[in-house]
Structure 1
């Protein structure tokens, strides 16, 4: 429950940031062609956060692999990654909108945060693209984010020399710092030199809140089934039960019309035509696009089981059966549209 609340707040925060960035892009008269890129980035980010939240189990837990998935970032060190994640995106947004029109110190810090974020993104993508457990959909976001960050850095550095050499500040210390950055060394040089000190300083600050000095490394290694994982997980649990269509098949026989016994996950179940059609449609999706099937199945497994646990009385099963009817007709339409032998595919579902 707590994780769900945190996730909802974080998703809302991202939406607010997207709205703010959109307003700032408009106020700063950013070229119109950049709006779709910003929107795409925001939606991709939201997808990464929401889809990534499905991978939440720690390596010490025994899980049902159908319902749950192991996290690719250790929960114990998630605060460290969250802080770097926020600083990276604040810096990315600031440089995207303002380019070089920032005071010298914030400008250098923004570049430092981007460098650190790019490196972390590389490791996140590598973690998600391991040999044993691959999640290309999730890995696509840090790769895309790095591409955008590199473009923003390049555009900023091209504008930076002229901007700093002509800029003056009312504060004499800012003017001295500006001259130091723009004449003795380039901003690029300063940002590269300060990456490690900034990283160390942030790490020390995070240690005050209980994070380890090597939290970034342990965030990847204190996991299981992923590329950099250093732990084994307990044996998988047996799958716990049936889903909505299966529950519906346990309703009143005169309504749901059970056909025969079948087998699912090694257990006998009552099979009716609605259940056969739903499973045949799932098989069709798996043949058409394994990635789409994985995404749909992951979400269905996550929420379908919890909902099915609340359907215990026959009247509830009957109601589920009736509510599933429109979907059943849609599934049947798809099967008859894209399958050469739809009835044969339907009939062979859940055979002993």
Structure 2
């Protein structure tokens, strides 16, 4: 945690100080060694830590910020923006007009991309500590590019080789207030070229958009509806089975799971009571069993439309019957009050605490009555 605070706090403080120093004095005020350290933290370590987390879409946990299917496009664009930044930061001489346009275009793309990422993640800490320093440093490098070009272009005798190079040279010689909007517009054909190349490795023409939209629970997510009716936690197979035809699965009552109302049948209650028994009696065994069962849940989340079918639910209910009988046999063998444990499943926490309190009082009263009879 301390390392994370340093990685977020240091780039933010240094970039803010350097940015406002540049606005006031017209030059960068932070030592170049400190700037290099901050660049590594802001542009390399933080992005790596960020993109290495949450690699899949998940309705029931932290979900990927970028669509797994389309994230390659984002990674490539981020990589090109990083190349543009470090090239601009370290180089001493200007390059050809077309390369200068491309470099400035990717710097602007990087700034825009960080704004979109901040909205996508909806994480204030990440936006302020991660995206903002990158944006400020990129703006400072853009200013450096402008100043370097003005200083060196006056000393060069430029002779364009073709019309495209001549046009690029003209754009670079414009005032920043005119030049930057034009370069920003030129970002579009640059991104189109990148997307066209990525088609060769399986990406789609709109992958740069779908990387944001084909996700769950984020700023630009369009797949939130896929998490509707997905119950997280608990016994997935039995939960699905409880959605079958009433004559087959025999629902008994409503229950509460993760704050949502669910339909409970006998099979679901017995299965959860069995897990409850394992958790109380063999906690070391419960975790690996739960882990394997969660894999089944992940499979159902992925193909929820199939498992939401009543006939499929009926089939699963019948398929689970032998396990239900095994669970029930285990409960009656190792639990003194199996039906009490079954009845307490999927009720509110307050109701369960009240029942536990009544059971303790009843047990205590019976023990005291037994002692009185013995004396």
When the two structures are superposed, what TM-score results if normalisation uses the length of structure 2? 0.48
Distance change (3 Å), C-alpha of 1:180 and 1:146: closer
Distance change (3 Å), C-alpha of 1:174 and 1:36: farther
CA distance in 2, matches of 1:157, 1:95: 11
User: Pairwise mapping of residues 335-346 of structure 1 onto structure 2 (< 5 A)?
Assistant: none
- Once the 2 structures are TM-superposed, how far is the Cα of residue 179 of structure 1 from its aligned partner? 8.9
CA distance in 2, matches of 1:56, 1:163: 45
1:169-218, Cα deviation, whole Å (9 max, x unpaired): 7x872899469615895385363452222122222222232222221111
User: Pairwise mapping of residues 85-164 of structure 1 onto structure 2 (< 5 A)?
Assistant: 85-98=78-91, 101-129=94-122, 134=123, 136-137=125-126, 140-164=129-153
Give structure 2 stretches of 5+ with no counterpart.
1-27, 236-275, 284-290, 293-356, 358-375
- Report the equivalent of 1:47: 46
CA distance in 1, matches of 2:117, 2:131: 7
Distance change (3 Å), C-alpha of 1:268 and 1:183: closer
> Of residues 207, 222, 230 in structure 2, which corresponds to 1:215?
207
Distance change (3 Å), C-alpha of 1:183 and 1:120: closer
Distance change (3 Å), C-alpha of 1:268 and 1:37: farther
> Of residues 73, 76, 93 in structure 1, which corresponds to 2:69?
76
- Confirm whether residue 34 of structure 1 aligns to residue 32 of structure 2: yes
The answer as to whether partners of 2:101 and 2:168 remain within 8 angstroms in 1 is no
- Report the equivalent of 1:236: 232
Give structure 1 stretches of 5+ with no counterpart.
1-29, 240-263, 272-304, 307-351
Secondary structure in 2 matching 1:35: helix
User: Pairwise mapping of residues 11-22 of structure 1 onto structure 2 (< 5 A)?
Assistant: none
CA distance in 2, matches of 1:183, 1:230: 38
CA distance in 1, matches of 2:98, 2:169: 9
> Of residues 167, 178, 181 in structure 1, which corresponds to 2:169?
181
The answer as to whether partners of 1:80 and 1:211 remain within 8 angstroms in 2 is yes
- Once the 2 structures are TM-superposed, how far is the Cα of residue 125 of structure 1 from its aligned partner? 0.9
Q: Higher relative CO (CA 8 A, sep ≥ 6), structure 1 or 2?
A: 1
**RMSD between superposed Cα atoms in Å:** 4.0
- Once the 2 structures are TM-superposed, how far is the Cα of residue 147 of structure 1 from its aligned partner? 1.1
CA distance in 1, matches of 2:171, 2:112: 29
Bigger-Rg structure (1/2): 2
CA distance in 1, matches of 2:46, 2:168: 42
The answer as to whether partners of 2:97 and 2:168 remain within 8 angstroms in 1 is no
CA distance in 2, matches of 1:50, 1:221: 22
Secondary structure in 2 matching 1:71: coil
CA distance in 1, matches of 2:65, 2:105: 25
